[in-house]
Chains A and B, each alone.
Chain A
């Protein structure tokens, strides 16, 4: 069964550093998403991406965050200057076209900011 692949599975970074979280969505999917889950808390939507542009973003997705689809297969989330409160599990998800097709999630990247 096709999978959404996320790398790395765990990243530790110093406060103020830039991090890039990588995702390879399922190849024929057209909608891409990033979510985060702070330890023990709910899963929060960050951003969605369709047709090479952001289609929706939450209040969490401020100027510190950016997304890219640099080469037609990867989908990246960049955090420019990490803060302690960015420590969380970050999930990528993808979806085929509109219609009643569901979302497929990756297994997540655990980001620890120290």
Chain B
């Protein structure tokens, strides 16, 4: 079945450092790919998405590019802030069919000043 694999955390960075969180997927068909963020004590918020190969999703300085050839959707940010500390989940689904999201295990990011 379809699955998502994320790099293990926690990831600990200093403010203004460069962030990469790796995500690879296995899927039949052509899924849409997502990054969700969960701040401490809160629910899941969509950070960005891409619906087809070579699309780049971006939001709040975060970016991820849908790479079909490497089945990857790595999350990057050029300069992290303390307020970016959260758990980040990579996910996939077939949006057009309305199928459920399949999540990776999540990566905890901790940014210190």
Question: Nearest residue in A to B106 (C-beta to C-beta)?
Answer: A42
Contact pick for B51, options A33, A95, A100, CB 8 Å: A100
Question: Nearest residue in A to B103 (C-beta to C-beta)?
Answer: A43
A31 close to B45 (CB less than 8 A): no
- Considering only CB atoms and an 8 Å cut-off, how many residues of chain B contact the other chain? 25
- Considering only CB atoms and an 8 Å cut-off, how many residues of chain A contact the other chain? 29
Residue A18 is within 8 A (CB to CB) of chain B in the complex: no
Question: Nearest residue in B to A55 (C-beta to C-beta)?
Answer: B98
- A30-B98, A103-B93 are known; give 13 further A-B pairs, CB within 8 A: A31-B98, A33-B101, A42-B89, A43-B44, A43-B89, A44-B103, A48-B99, A58-B100, A100-B95, A104-B46, A105-B44, A106-B43, A108-B43
22 A-B pairs with CB atoms under 8 Å apart are A33-B100, A33-B101, A41-B105, A43-B44, A44-B103, A45-B100, A48-B98, A55-B98, A58-B100, A91-B43, A97-B98, A98-B95, A98-B96, A99-B96, A100-B95, A101-B95, A103-B46, A104-B46, A105-B36, A105-B44, A105-B46, A108-B43
